[in-house]
Amino acid sequence: MTERVEETTAVRPPVDGPPSSGPGSPSRPIASGPVVTPAASNTVVRPRTPRRARLRLTRIDPWSVMKTSFLLSIAFAVVTVVSVAMVWQVLGAAGVWDSINSTIQESIGGEDVAGFRIEDYVGTSRVLGFTMLVAAIDVVLITAASTLIAFLYNMSAALLGGIEITLAEDA
């Protein structure tokens, strides 16, 4: 590591004014000659450690929990209905329903099952209707449960002090 040294010929005056020479006053040497700049010093520069803060979560607003959980549960309901519709279409395209119909007709046989179709019992419209009903019930239950959990957390935090969290800055 090379040091950068600057040559100065002038005398550097003190920053606070002229030095006092009385007893008890600190002596300030006046530098003349080579001066080592701070960038050229041999000190090891350590990376700054991130600041940390210890916080305590003592209250959660139930109204904001209810609004957030309602929106997230609606998104979950939409994803559920779309995924069930996609799976049902893939099963139909793969020929699963025709395979089930032929298996039932072969195993039971007879004239009674000649017109049997599984789609009449578990068709797309019935399955999607049931899925939408379950999704609507889930929206209500998830919203109510998360709001109730926020109330219960607030009550337990009042007794126990809440959850302690340590936050740190990125380095």
Is pLDDT of 7 > 50?
Answer: no
With 0.75 as the threshold, say if the pTM is over it: no
Q: Is the pLDDT of residue 23 over 90?
A: no
pLDDT, one tens digit per residue, over 25-64 is 555 555 555 555 555 556 777 777 888 999 999 999 999 9
How many Cα neighbours within 13 Å face the side chain of 46?
Answer: 3
User: Residue 119 contacts by C-beta under 8 Å, 6 or more apart in sequence?
Assistant: 97
Do residues 128 and 85 touch, judged by C-beta distance below 8 A?
yes
Q: pLDDT grade, residue 70 (50/70/90)?
A: very high
Supply the pLDDT for residue 155. 96
Q: Over the stretch 118-145, which tens digit does the pLDDT of each residue have?
A: 788 888 899 999 999 999 999 999 999 9
Q: Name the amino acid, one letter, at 124.
A: T
pLDDT at 92: 87
Domain ranges of the chain: 66-152
DSSP 8: E
Question: What is the pairing mode between strands 163-168 and 33-36?
Answer: unpaired
- H or E segment to which residue 78 belongs: helix 62-93
